[in-house]
Structure 1
Amino acid sequence: MSSPLRRGFMKNWYAVEALPIYAIIGSVLVGGAWYLKRLATGPTVVWTKTNPTPWNTIQPDQGTKIVEVNQKFDKGWSREKL
């Protein structure tokens, strides 16, 4: 038999009314983690000390934008290391 303390815990924490709260909190945590990862791996963030100024290695014929409107470049720029 289960104790009254355990029944009270299960009734309050596993109630059907609490499921939307868990879903909202879970989606907020996942969204926050995704956004922080997106910020940390952006093209302006340098994690290594081998090339502290990556903007100096971009050649004039390389495009660095995701969407290039009215511009044609021979090569696209890519970051070699994170």
Structure 2
Amino acid sequence: MSQKIGIMMNIKILEKFEVLNSEMLASVEGGKKVVSMGNGMYCYDGTLKCWSNPSEIWSIAGKVIVNGWINYGPWIPRP
């Protein structure tokens, strides 16, 4: 019985769903421009509000560590 209710609820949600196209998204007013500062850091343009994306930071750090190990290994000094 609960399975039927869940299916019926999903159908109702899908019937009310509207497609967002470029014109509808362009009509949105307000908001702030987000600027990527690089390496997983993002800031609002013109304000001091910034935040980081930890998964992006760890991905970049992992690439740097692996590339250093492959290119130089633990026995060759870095340039």
TM-score, normalised to structure 2, is 0.32
Q: Higher strand fraction: Structure 1 or Structure 2?
A: 2
Structure (1 or 2) with the larger CA radius of gyration = 1
Structure having greater relative contact order (Cα 8 Å, sep ≥ 6)? 1
